[in-house]
Amino acid sequence: MKNFAYARAQDADTAVQLITQNQNAKFLSGGTNLVDLMRENIEQPDHLIDVTGLPLAQVEELPGGGVSIGALVRNSHLAANQIIRERYPVLSQAILMGASAQIRNMATTGGNLMQRTRCYYFYDTDARCNKREPGTGCDALEGFNRIHAILGASDDCIATHPSDMCVALAALDATVHVTGTGVERTIPIVEFHRLPEDTPQIDTNLQPDELITSVELPALPFARNSMYRKVRDRASYAFALVSVAAALEVEDGTIKNVRLALGGVAHKPWRATEAEKVLTGAKADEEIFKRAAAEELKAARGYKHNSFKIELAERTIVSVLKTLASEGGAR
Amino acid sequence: MSRKPKQKAHIEFTLNGETAEVAFAPHKTLLEVLREDLNLTGTKHGCELGECGTCTVLVDRKPILSCLMLGLDVEGREVTTVEGMNEGAQLHPLQETFADTGAAQCGYCTPGFLLVAKELLTKNPNPTREEIKEALSGNLCRCTGYIKIYEAVELAAAKMRGESVELPKESVYGYE
Amino acid sequence: MSSPKTERRFVGKSVPRKEGRDKVTGAARYVDDIRFPEMLYGATVRTTSPRGRIKEIIFGENVPWDEFTIVTAKDIPGENYVALILNDQPYLVEEFFNHTEEPVLLLAHEDKFLVEKARRSIRFEIEEFSPVFTIEDSVNKREIIWGEDNVFKSFLVDKGNVDEVWESADVIVEGEYLTGAQEQLYIENNGMIAIANHEDGVTVWGSMQCPYYVHKALIKLFNLPEEKVRVVQTETGGGFGGKEEYPSMIAGHAALLSWKSGRPVKIIYDRAEDMAATTKRHPSHTRHRTAVSRDGKLLGMEIDFTVDGGAYATLSAVVLSRGTIHAAGPYLCPNVRIRSRAVATNAPPHGAFRGFGAPQSIFGLERHMDKIAKTLGLSPEEFRRRNFIQEGQTTATQQVIHEKVDLSGLMDRAFELSGYNEKREKFAEQNKSSRLKKGIGFASFMHGAGFTGSGEKYLESVVGAEATEQGNVRILAASTEIGQGTNTIFGQIASEALGIDYNLIEVAKPDTSNVPNSGPTVASRTCMIVGKLVESAALGLKQTLVGSGFLKDSGYTSEDFSNACRAYIEKHGALKSFSKYQQPEGINWDDEHYRGDAYGAYAWAVYVAEVTVDPTVYEAHVDDFVAVQEVGRVINPVLATGQIEGGVAQGIGYTLYENVVWRDGRMANNQMTNYIIPTSADIPPIRVFFAENPYAYGPAGAKGIGELPMDGAAPAILSAIENATGVSINHIPLVPESLMEELETETI
C-alpha cells in the first residue's frame, strides 16, 4: 500500500473543504472496499479524509412516512432497524444477504453506494481494464466473465455493481442527499450510478468534491410486501449471480403497484422499468410475470460464461413475483 | 529512487483491556499493526481481502475484519484479540470447549471463530444451532466442516449459563 | 459401542488435543508469526504465459534494484530440480518454461511493500510455443510437451480375461465421467523462512507436511551433506496434501535468497499466489465399459482412467496409482482390466489432495454403478449388495481380502440412520407436486491405508522413543501435526502401550536434526503405519527399562515408570529406542504387473446424502449427510469424527461449489471470493458412525482414516440429485450453470 496523508473531519463542511484542497484525495468511512483496493494498489490516494466522526449515523422517520438514513449508518444497524424491517423488508433482507457480519459491522450506507466492482480484471493489475486504466482495453470481454453484466454493458466494460443494498434502494426509489462546495443536492438512486459507456472509470454521478450525507426512502406503504432474492454460489458470503428486489401490491387480482430491480446484471443496480410497465394494471398471474421478465431481459446480451444469467434472471423475477403475489400482495 | 521519508502515526487505544500506545507507518492495517508493531501474532492473515474472516478482532465489542481496517481507525477505541480472551491461566469457556471438543483442528482460523462466538454469546447467551450457523457464516474453516465448532459454542454457552452439559454421544461417536 | 474396550485406558477415549491450548490462546506459532533480526522478505517472479522460452528479463524503472538480492537459476549451487520422483521440475526457469506460474527470479528486500512493487515491475520478453491444456489434446499428442508422448506414467491392471465376457454378457453398460481440479485451500497460506550460508549450511522453518521431502530436495539444490541441512516444521494451518511437495520449492527459494544475501529470508505466499501457483487435485476422465448378467452380477469391467498431471511429473505417478487401484471399488468382479495414465498439460503441476486419485476414480465408478442398476431395473442398493466383496474374495489387483468386511451391514446402518428407505418413498410422492425436489442417494466405497504396494517397504520409516530427564517419554517422528491430531494419537498409542499416563508422553516437534524419518504425512498412513512404529518404539523403551532392572514387567504405576526413566538416565545416560517398519508377513505386491496386496488394510464405508434441488434457480443444497465407516479401532473418537466431518465438508465443496476456472492454463478465479468453499451455512448436519473391526497390524487395531471421507460425498450427492430430479449427472463440480444445462436438456 502506498503512503498517504490522513486527516479526520468532524463536520461535512470541513470534509468537503479538505477534499477540495487536496489533490488526489478520498473520503474514508468503513474502509471495507477502499482499504482493500489500496492494498492491491488499485486506488492510490495521496490523502485520506476520514469522515467516520461526522454526525451522520442516524436513521430518522420523516414527516409523511419516509425515512432518512444517515450516510454513516452501519449496514448491520440499518438491517436491524425496526422501521426498516417492517416498512421496507426488501432493504433489510438485501443488506443481510451481503458480505459477512464482520463486514456489515464496518460498512456504511454511503460507502455501500460507493463500492467499486468486483470484476477480477479490475483487481488484477496485470490485466487490461478500462475502469482501472482507461484506454487499456477490457480483458473480461474475452476472459472468464461469469459474474459479468448482461444488461447495459459497453464494449469498454462489462463489470457489474456488487451491492445488494443498492438494488433494494433502486426498487424503493430512494434519493441520495449530497453536499459539495456550497451546494446541496439530491440525486435519485437510479441516476446515482452510471452505465459504463466509454468512460467506465467513472462509477457514479457524484462529483469529486461531493459527500453523501444521507439516503432518503420515500413513503411507500406497499413496500411492506417486498422481498429480496439472491441467487449465489453458496448460502453466505458470496456476491450475487443474479438478485431481485421487488415490492408488489395486488388488488382484486390486478397489479396496482410494483417495483422491481435487479442486481448482479449491470454496471449499476438495474431498475426493471420495462417489466414494471408490463405488470402495472395487469392481472397478477404467472403468465404476466413471465412476459414482464422476458420483456426486461429482451435487451440482455450474454458473453461466453454468463449467458445462463439471462434465463436465471427471468426465472428469479417470476419466482419472486409469485411469492409476493401469494404471500401478501393479493389482499 | 523516490521513497518518501517514513512518517509514523501515533495512536492510543484500549487493547485487551489495557491502554496501548503504538507508532506505525500510517498505511498499515490494524492486522499489520497488531502483528508487527504490537507483536500480537494470535490474529492471523488469511486472505487479506475480507473474504475469509480469519483476521477477525473485536472493535468496540463488535467483530470486524482487521485486514480491512486501517490501524489509524482504532484511535480511542477498544480492541479485543484472542490474546485478550483468557484471564491469566484461566481460559474463556469458549477456549476450553474449542480445545476439548475438536473445534480447533489446524487452529489457524480458530482465533477469528472464538471472537465472533464470544460476541454472539454476549448478545445471546442461549443461541440456537441456526443462530450459531448464521453468526459464524463469515468465517471460513477448511478442517472441521464446522460441526465441532457449533458444538463447542453450544457447550460453552451452557457452561456460561451455569448448566452442566456433555457432548451428545452421537456428536463424537455415532450412536447405537 | 460395538466392541468392548474395558482394559483400554487411553485408546478409544477423546483425550484433549496435545497442542489444543496453544491453538485457542493464540500462542501457537505459525511460520508467519516468526521473525528474525535482519530478516528480508522474499518474492517469486513467475512466468506469465503457458509455454515458451524467455528471451530477456526487463527490470522496471523506479525500483532501487541495487538494494535487492536477486537470484536466478545461475545462482543455484547444486542441482536445479526439486528432487522428488523424476526430478523434472526446476527450481528456477533457465530458459524454457512449461506453465504460467513457473518461478524465474527471486527477489528479497527488507521492505515487503517494496518487494511487491519490484516483483510487479518485472517483464519478460518471450518466445511463445504452442501449449496443451486438456487431457484430450495431451493424449492425442496435439503437441508433445513432455517426454516422447506426454505420458508421465501408465498402469495396467489385468484380472481374469475381460475380452471374453462381452459376448456372453446379458447387458453391457458404458459411461464417461469427469472431475475437475480442486484447491486445498488450507486457511494458512504456504510460507518458509530460511537461514543459509556456507559455514552452517541450510536451515528452514515452515508450514509443511513432509520435513524429509524438503530435506531431500535441499540437499540436492545446495549439494550439501545431509547433516548440513535442517528442516523444522512450524505449526501448520492445514495441508490436505497441498503442503506435501510444494513446500520443497518455497524452502529452496527462501534458502537461495538467504544463501546469496547472507540474511534470514522469509517467503509467505499471499492467497492469490498460493491458489494460482501451488498444486491442486488432478482433474480426471474415466471411461467404463461393464458387462453384467441379467440377475445383476458383475461379469467384466473395463476401465480407462486418465488424470491431468500439469506440466511436471511431481507426484502424478503415485496419485495415478491410488486412483487406479480404487477404480474398481469394493466389488467382486472376475474379469477386470484397468488402464490408466497421467498426462502432461501446460498448467501448474497437479499434486496431492486428500484422497490422492481415489476420489476421482471412485466418483466415476459409483456413478456408473447407479447407471448399471438403472439399466438393469434394480435399485442402486440392491445392485451393490449383489456385488459387494466378501472376506476371502479378490479385488481388481487380486488381493485376497482377509478382513471381515461387511459392506451390506454398513449399508443397513447408514440407511437406518438416514431414513433412506422411507425417504425414497416419501420424496417420490412429494416431488410430484412440490416445486422443490428432494432426493436421497448413497455411495459405497473403500480406501486403502498407507503407501500403495511396496511403498512402505521402500520407505523404511523409523520412529524413536526417548526417555527424558523429567521422566517423560518423548516420541521422535517426522510425522507432522497439521490439524488432524498426530500429536494426540501418538500420545494415546504410546501411553496405552506403556500403560502410563497420557500426559507423560511428549511428542517432539518435527525437526530433521532431532527426529528420524518416519516418512511423509500423507496417504492415511500416520496412524496405522507410523502409529504402529510409535507403539513398538515405546515398547522397546520399556523393554530396556525392564531388561536393565529399573522397571517391573507389569504392575507398575506411571510414577514407577518415570522413576525408572530417571534412574536409567542417571546410570547409563540417554535412553532411546527406535523402531523401523517391517512389512507384515504375507503381504506381496508385484510392481511390474500391478498385482497383489495393494494395501495392508482398507477402510470401508457407505455414505448417504440428502439434497434439495430448486429447479427454478438451479440451486442444489445438501440437507443431511450420514457417514458410516469401518476403520479398525478408533483411537480418538472426537478427532476421528472431526476427520470425517471435515473430509465430508471438503467433498461437498468438491461436488457443488469448488470450480477451478482455467484460462490459458492459469487459474482464473484464484481468490476466495470467486473460488467458493462451503461456509457454515452450506454444510448440513454430518452424522458420523464408526463400526469397529480391529486390524491386527495397526496400533491398538487402528487403520487409516484421513482420506476416506473425501471419497464418498460426490457420488452420494449426485446420486441424490438423480433421485430428486431423475437426471443423471456425470461430472463435477456441479455449479448452477451446469445444473441448469443438465436440467434443461431433460424434462423434470
- What pLDDT is recorded for position A331? 41
Of C663, C676, C741, the CB nearest to A238: C676
Determine the pLDDT at residue C406.
97
Q: Where exactly are the structural domains of chain C?
A: 20-28+461-580, 34-129+185-277, 284-452+592-745
Give B66's Cβ-side CA count (13 Å radius). Answer: 31
pLDDT of residue B3: 42
Domain with CATH 3.30.43.10 in chain A: 5-53
> What CATH number is given for C20-28+461-580 in this structure?
3.30.365.10
Q: Which helix (H) or strand (E) holds C647?
A: helix C637-652
Residue B68 contacts C, CB cutoff 8 Å:
no
Q: Can you tell me the mean pLDDT for C269-294?
A: 97
What is the domain class of A227-329 according to CATH?
A: alpha beta
According to the model, what pLDDT value does residue B161 have? 96
pLDDT score of C436: 96
How much is the pTM? 0.96
> What are the domain boundaries of chain B?
9-84, 93-164
List pLDDT tens digits, range A269-279.
999 999 999 99
Q: Which residue in this structure is represented by grid cell 412440490?
A: C434
Average pLDDT over residues C4-32: 87
Q: Which residues of C touch A146 (CB under 8 A)?
A: 661, 737
For residue C646, the chain B residues in CB contact (below 8 A) are 105, 142-145
pLDDT, tens only, A184-228: 999 999 999 999 999 999 999 999 999 999 999 999 999 999 999
- pLDDT of C4 strictly over 60: no
Contact map slice: B 106-135 vs C, CB within 8 A: 106-111, 114, 132-134
Domain A5-53 part of CATH 3.30.43.10: yes
Judging contacts by C-beta atoms under 8 Å, the chain B residues touching residue A38 are 27
Backbone angles phi, psi at C49, to 5 degrees: -135, 165
User: What local confidence, expressed as pLDDT, does residue B176 receive?
Assistant: 40
Nearest to C44 by CA among C90, C122, C98, C104: C104
Q: Write down the CATH number for the domain with range C284-452+592-745.
A: 3.30.365.10
Asked if pLDDT for residue B173 goes beyond 60, the answer is: no
pLDDT per residue as tens digits for the range C217-246: 999 999 999 999 999 999 999 999 999 999
- Is-same-fold flag (B9-84; B93-164)? no
Of C120, C619, C668, the CB nearest to A120: C668
pLDDT in tens, B133-153: 999 999 999 999 999 999 999
| pLDDT of B160 higher than 70 | yes
User: With 60 as the cut, is the pLDDT of residue B172 above it?
Assistant: no
Name the CATH architecture for the domain at B93-164: Orthogonal Bundle (1.10)
Please, which pLDDT band fits residue B170 given cuts at 50, 70 and 90? Answer: low
Taking the C-alpha atoms of residue C28 and residue C26, their distance in angstroms, rounded to an integer, is 6
The pLDDT tens digits for B87-106 are 989 999 999 999 999 999 99
The pairs formed by A279-284 with CB atoms below 8 angstroms and a separation of 24 or more are A279/A255, A279/A321, A280/A255, A280/A256, A281/A254, A281/A255, A281/A256, A282/A254, A282/A255, A283/A253, A283/A254, A283/A255, A284/A248, A284/A250, A284/A253, A284/A254, A284/A255, A284/A321, A284/A325, A284/A329, A284/A330
| Beta-bridge partners for A325 | none
The fraction of chain A above a pLDDT of 70, given in percent, is: 99
Local confidence band at B5 (pLDDT 50, 70, 90 cut-offs): very low
Instruction: Tell me the per-residue pLDDT of C167-200, one tens digit each, with 9 for 90 and over.
Output: 999 999 999 999 999 999 999 999 999 999 999 9
Say what the pLDDT of residue C747 is.
Answer: 44
Query: H or E stretch including B18?
Result: strand B18-24
Which of the four pLDDT bands, split at 50, 70 and 90, describes residue A330? very low
Backbone angles phi, psi at A270, to 5 degrees: -100, 105
Number of A:C CB contacts under 8 A?
64
pLDDT, position C294: 96
Question: What are the angstrom distances between the C-alpha of A210 and each of A26, A50, A177, A183?
Answer: 11, 14, 10, 9
Q: Please write the tens of the pLDDT for every residue from A32-52.
A: 999 999 988 899 999 999 999
Tell me how far apart the alpha carbons of residues A99 and A122 are, in angstroms, rounded to a whole number: 19
Partner-chain contact B65 A103, CB within 8 Å:
yes
What is the reported pLDDT for B165? 78
pLDDT, residue B168, reads: 65
Q: Is C748 a residue whose pLDDT tops 50?
A: no
Predicted pLDDT at C23: 98
CATH topology of domain C34-129+185-277: Aldehyde Oxidoreductase; domain 4 (3.30.365)
**pLDDT at residue C41 tops 80:** yes
Name chain B contacts of C628, Cβ cutoff 8 Å. Answer: 174
Contact residues on chain B for C641, CB-CB shorter than 8 A: 102, 148, 171-174
**Directed axis angle between helix A286-296 and helix A308-324, to 10°?**
140
Q: Is C677 on the interface with B (CB under 8 A)?
A: yes
pLDDT at A329 over 50: no
Per-residue pLDDT averaged across C647-661, rounded?
97
pLDDT category at A303 given cuts 50, 70, 90 is: very high
Is A126 at the interface with chain C, CB within 8 A? yes
Q: What number is the ipTM of this complex?
A: 0.96
Domain B9-84 superfamily per CATH: Beta-grasp domain (3.10.20.30)
Does C1 have pLDDT greater than 50? no
| The pLDDT of residue A171 is above 80 | yes
Contact check, Cβ <8 Å, B145/C16: no
Q: Tell me which chain B residues have a C-beta less than 8 angstroms from the C-beta of A102.
A: 53, 56, 63-65, 116, 138
Flag if A102 and B53 touch (Cβ within 8 Å): yes
Output B49 or A197, whichever has higher pLDDT.
A197
Average pLDDT of the residues in C189-215:
98
